[in-house]
Amino acid sequence: MTAAATFEKVEKVYKTGPFGRAGVPAVRGVTLSVPAGSVFGLLGPNRAGKTTLVKLLLSLAWPTSGTVTRLGGPTSARASLGRVGYMHENHAFPRYLSASEVLRFYGGLTGVPSADLGTRANHLLERVGLADRGREPITRFSKGMVQRLGLAQALMNDPDLLVLDEPTEGLDLAGRQLLRDVVGEFRQAGKTVLVVTHVLNEVEEICDELAVLVAGKLAYRGRLADLLATGSGEKKPLEHALRGLYQKGAAE
């Protein structure tokens, strides 16, 4: 099976302190493959290294050692970034832009031909329920509206790999359904979705496979169904299984 992303013996130590002499180990010896066509969850407690793995995948950071591949090539091959959509946890869109301008700006950055930017932006504004607000400055947007715009932005380049970081944060029920629909379309099209989340319902509803990081190390990699089986008989099987992994990982 081909992989949308691979991490091979990856270590990431952030340099801190005067002259970068101190180091924070964020990822410790992670070997992991995200199969193409899967809806893959990345879970772990706070500071586990989840965002760091995503940054390594998106060339926003570089491993201290080990190798990371994206869509079949090294992450240094920037062209493949044009096939990735990234819905950030905290969108920092330029506040002076309108929603439509945000989409056209980011679409341009990810290689959407300029002749297609307007049509694509209008289509996606409609898709995420913002068709009547496209000309408004986003300073007037609520948190949920910015989140919907973030989803539209991640879809501008019709990506093969969609990375969602805490995607349901701030979304109402209709917004969550929209997100599930989008993920369903990716699954049907044989495309890959990588979801970083703390929301367990979300994991149970959309993910096929998952990886659990604890203190920078891989604590579990496998099918959701198999992890759920380890917590079977419990009222909240996934929560029970994860709690066990988190405790074991923290003690190592």
| Residue 157 C-beta-side C-alpha neighbours within 13 Å | 23
Tokens of 188: 């049907």
Alpha carbons 225 and 160: distance in angstroms, whole number: 25
Residue 211 near residue 218 (C-beta atoms within 8 A): yes
Alpha carbons 89 and 170: distance in angstroms, whole number: 10
Residue 148 near residue 130 (C-beta atoms within 8 A): yes
Grouping H, G, I as helix, E, B as strand and the rest as coil, residue 66 is strand
- CB 198 to ligand ATP: min, Å: 7
- CB 123 to ligand ATP: min, Å: 32
- CB 111 to ligand ATP: min, Å: 27
Residue 5: what residue type?
Answer: A
Q: In terms of CB distance, is 46 or 232 closer to ligand ATP?
A: 46
Q: In terms of CB distance, is 51 or 157 closer to ligand ATP?
A: 51
- CB 180 to ligand ATP: min, Å: 22
Alpha carbons 28 and 133: distance in angstroms, whole number: 45
The H helix count followed by the E strand count for the chain is: 8, 10
Q: In terms of CB distance, is 117 or 196 closer to ligand ATP?
A: 196
Residue 28 near residue 215 (C-beta atoms within 8 A): yes
The residues of the shown chain that bind ligand ATP, judged by CB under 6 A, are 14, 16, 24, 26, 44, 46-52
- CB 22 to ligand ATP: min, Å: 9
Grouping H, G, I as helix, E, B as strand and the rest as coil, residue 175 is helix
Q: In terms of CB distance, is 134 or 249 closer to ligand ATP?
A: 249
- CB 53 to ligand ATP: min, Å: 7
Q: In terms of CB distance, is 12 or 70 closer to ligand ATP?
A: 12
Q: In terms of CB distance, is 49 or 167 closer to ligand ATP?
A: 49
